[in-house]
Amino acid sequence: MPPRRSTRQHPPSPDASSSSRPKRKIEYQDPSTNNIDELLKHPKSILTNIDISELINASIWEILSADCRERLVKLLPPTAFIGYTPTYDAHHPSQSDSTDAMDVDTVKEPSADTLDASVFTDSHFLAAARTFQDHIYSGWLTDSHKEKVRKYEDGIRDGTLAAPWKDEEWERDNAEDNDSTAPAASSSASRKSALDVRLNELAKNSVIRVGDIIAYKRAFTAINLVVEKDVLIYDIKSKGTITVLLESGVTQHLPAHLLQPGPTDAGAPTQSMEVTTPSMLETGILDLDGRVERSRRPNGNAWKCFTIWRWRDDTLSGFDDNRGGRENHGTLYYLRQSYASDR
């Protein structure tokens, strides 16, 4: 979270209006002498301690030259203009797979004449403007910070860098239990943090149950691949070991006969696997999928890659979809957080 800015003006001193004190002369500064980089990038920019709505508003817009306005409208979204109508874009991800999408009339190119002046008082516009101020104040728009971000993104993309918090969580998820050697917790520390909750504890306390489907999904950006696979919780042993069923190869969904209550253990190509941690389950899934080499797999937080799908408690839904009518119950990460907060 960026440091908190303050736009409060200091109150005048009690004798500020006294005629005995000479008034300080305000010197006019030619805007052309201002360094644009200082204004738009430096944390001490004057833009960080003003009310942005006094600078960007309909009145100021009207006194700008026609050339300036035509240049600025190109930076605004289509929704800022009168008569905006959504248009079909064959290249947009939401439309690329549609078979029944229809082209619609395209609106005229946005111009200063069709700008809706109410955009300057829109809460979303003002929130974005104030966020821009915060980013300047925090130094996030400086050239040095942008270079750090670029190096970080390149490292994440090519696999040479991993976010520290992901490594820390992975180590916690894969560490061996040391309950026998750990000192007894004091009563003041009896509440467990989410990182201390294991998968077998969720199973023992019915946070995850037999019959649930654990849907796996992870994007491997370095090789431009998304792996998805559904896993059925077939059995939970008394010690918390979980037996799951899943398909071999790149097949994502389970066969229909495994989606019904009380399925029988299936043969090939369905596989059975016993797991105790999300990382162990992810490794087994990727090994069966076969498209991601172990050296290309990130040490990420596997808890966030799994979503639990479950039948509603009141009734079983139909079996006409790929998950037997089950409903999204939340990610393992979310369920673990909720369980820990309720302890």
Look at residue 164 in the predicted model and tell me its pLDDT. Answer: 59
Is the pLDDT at 160 greater than 50? The verdict is: yes
At residue 267, does pLDDT exceed 70?
yes
Which residue ranges make up each domain of the chain?
31-96+103-141, 197-342
Can you read off the two tokens belonging to residue 309? 């799908």
| 11 contacts: CB under 8 Å, gap ≥ 6 | none
328, 302 contact by CB (below 8 A): no
CB-based burial, 309-343: b 16+ in 10 Å, e otherwise: bbbeeeeeeeeeeebbbbeebebbbebbbebbeee
- pLDDT score at 291: 93
pLDDT at 238: 79
Decide the pairing of beta strands 213-220 and 225-236.
Answer: antiparallel
- 46-77 residue pLDDT tens: 888 888 888 899 999 999 999 999 999 888 88
Return the closest-CA partner of residue 112 out of 66, 156, 167, 161: 66
φ/ψ region of 165 (left if φ > 0, alpha if ψ in -120 to 50, else beta) reads alpha
**Residue 341: which H helix or E strand, with range?**
helix 332-342
Tell whether pTM > 0.85. no
Give the rounded distance of the alpha carbon of 69 from its chain centre: 34
In tens, the pLDDT along 275-316 reads 999 999 999 999 999 999 988 887 778 999 999 999 876 555
Question: At 149, which helix (H) or strand (E)?
Answer: helix 143-158
Tens digit of each residue's pLDDT (9 = 90 or more) over 235-263: 998 777 899 999 999 999 999 889 888 77
Residue 287 confidence (pLDDT): 93
196-211 mean pLDDT: 91
Mean pLDDT of 4-18: 49
Sign (positive or negative) of CA dihedral 273, 209, 324, 213:
negative
Kind and range of the H or E run holding 129: helix 123-137
pLDDT given at position 319: 59
Q: Measure the CA–CA gap between 255 and 247, rounded to whole angstroms.
A: 8
Could you tell me the pLDDT band of residue 331, with boundaries at 50, 70 and 90? very high
